[in-house]
Amino acid sequence: HSKSPSLHRLKCVQVLPKQALDDVNFATNPLPSVSPDLLHQMVYDALVWTSLNGLVVGDRSLKKSGTVPGVGMVHAPFSLLPVNFPESHWRQACELAPIFNELVDRVSLDGKFLQEALARTKKVDAFTRRLLEIHSKMLEMNKKEEIVLGLHRSDYMLDDRTKNLLQIELNTISSSFAGLSCVVSELHRTLLNQYGKYLELDFNRVPQNTAVTGFAKALAQAWKDYNNSRAVVIIVVQPEEHNMYDQHWLSMFLREKHGVRTIRRTLAQIDSEGQLLPDGTLLVDGCAVAVIYFRAGYAPSDYPSESEWRARLLMEQSSAIKCPSISYHLTGTKKIQQELAKPNILERFLENKDDIAKLRKCFAGLWSLDDSNIIKEAIERPELFVLKPQREGGGNNIYGNDVREILTKLQEEDFEELNAYILMQRIFPVASSSLLVREGIFHQEETISELGIYGAYLRNKDKVIMNDNCGYLVRTKVSSSNEGGVAAGFAVLDSIYVN
């Protein structure tokens, strides 16, 4: 895949471990003023900075690092320098956030649309079926959410061929890295402030990242609207969480900037400690809950027994503000993303023609697998497609030859099973050269980047209190890797250098 020189990152400096520095060939170095010594100094400074400033995750090789804070930390994997990103595309991505927020809200209110769009998925995907069953129950009860809170992240890649910004997906549950993405932007601004003169880079071109303060503000405002000063925000967590510091960043801002207390509980704990009062108040461990913020519950593995499903249902039935509600969760599924990309569907939910055009412009090709022509095409040219099940959290998609094999097999043996998936145009993003730092070691790699834009939406009955774009996340991974998750071990945290 060819590189585009104009978008090529400034960071193509060949760096090898210290002992091999003599072998470095600087003939292709576009930054002649950067000596290997200076680069080592930068990496060293960056590593110290991450440790002093909480750009950390739990170290999986150490016991308790996923359960006890302050024990067994390692710096989050990061890119030494930010990735070049065109200003126009940066603006475009930011502008889309409030439009997607509004779209999610509108779609979530159409229970019939959600049920119908997911009806065939439900038959072959037990996880989606369980979510839909909770959704059905809420529809039957005529449950109304007066206050809704969405903390989303819409992810994009820059298509190398067309130079279009294309959406990968929209996350409506457990959108992660609002905390650490801000810290990595600060790291880059700090490094460029110090070393920018040698690199001919200006730290002001790394946008200040407001993700964590934006999310904290939205959670705090929701908490306020709930109007019970003794109530808490509950963070629904996995029993083991190596990305806990990302979450603690948010809790810290809630506490220190807004005076809001958070508690952390697993789904199983909520099942045993949770209780619904007749007026709908959710009590957990005797504490009234104003806002339920899910950082778990998006994957089948989060529900190992009926206990977790009971907790999810209990929370949904309560009057607490759910971030997200079951309908917001379902709106974020890949199947709904694909349905919304069909002709004339956006028009059902939004009135503003400009907004609709802006959304459509960032949609990649998306297909359901009831179309035998597209199945045939994907079997013939699988490298042009990604096959996606209804899953979150990275590592679930199917690429290349596996697409051909699965489609061929299902087409012959189990046609219904095809409904578990959607098919998406494979995006080939602009490639760069990056210095990736992982566990204190740096590597130069050819990489691709994914830009996530956070969005916060708060509505109280028919009053929209907040509809903001707030901050961003960049994840950079080696070009040869298919998946992109940082937590899943594929990517590093990054930020952008706007130009």
Question: Is there a catalytic annotation at residue 347?
Answer: no
- Give the Cα separation of 484 and 475 in Å (integer): 7
The two three-digit tokens of residue 386, written as one number: 């990604």
> Does 495 contact Mg ion by CB under 5 A?
no
Active site residue 181: no
Residue 386 touches ligand ADP, criterion: CB under 6 A: yes
Q: Does 311 bind ligand ADP (CB under 6 A)?
A: no
296 makes contact with ligand ADP (CB under 6 A): no
Binding mask 105-144 for ligand ADP (x = CB under 6 A): ----------------------------------------
Buried-state track 257-269, b at ≥16 Cβ within 10 A, e below 16: ebebbbbbbbbbb
What is the DSSP code (8-state) at residue 384? G
Q: How far is CA 50 from CA 54, 185, 397, 430, in A?
A: 6, 11, 31, 28
Closer of 124 and 170 to ligand ADP (Cβ): 170
Which residue from 109, 483, 487, 489 is in contact with ligand ADP, where contact means CB under 6 A? 483
394 scored as a contact of ligand ADP (CB under 6 A): yes
Within 156-195, the residues that bind ligand ADP by CB under 6 A are 168-169
Cβ at position 386, least distance to ligand ADP in Å = 4
Cα dist. 257→25, 120, 499 in Å?
Answer: 50, 46, 33
Set 65, 176, 318, 397: catalytic member:
176
Is 353 an active-site residue? no
The distance of closest approach from Cβ of residue 168 to ligand ADP in the complex, given in angstroms and rounded to an integer, is 5
| Smallest distance from ligand ADP to CB 336, Å | 13
User: Whose CA is closest to 470, among 458, 489, 454, 486?
Assistant: 454
Burial (0-12, 13-18, 19+ Cβ within 10 Å), 386: buried
Neighbours of 304 (CB within 10 A): 11
Residues 54, 86, 393, 400: which binds ligand ADP (CB under 6 A)? 393
On whether the CB atoms of residues 475 and 491 are closer than 8 A, the answer is yes
Q: Is 176 a catalytic residue?
A: yes
Residue 355, interface with ligand ADP (CB under 6 A)? Answer: no
> Which residue in 424, 430, 453, 474 binds ligand ADP (CB under 6 A)?
424
Of 201 and 427, CB closest to ligand ADP? 427
- Which residue shows structure tokens 């790291």? 187
CB of 366 to ligand ADP, least distance (A): 9
Look at residue 212 and give its three-state secondary structure: helix
What sections of 109-243 are H helices per DSSP? 111-117, 119-124, 126-141, 178-199, 211-226
Residues that bind ligand ADP (CB under 6 A): 155, 168-169, 364, 386, 388, 391-394, 396-397, 424-427, 450, 483-484
Active-site residue set? 153, 169, 171, 176, 334, 388, 392-393, 475
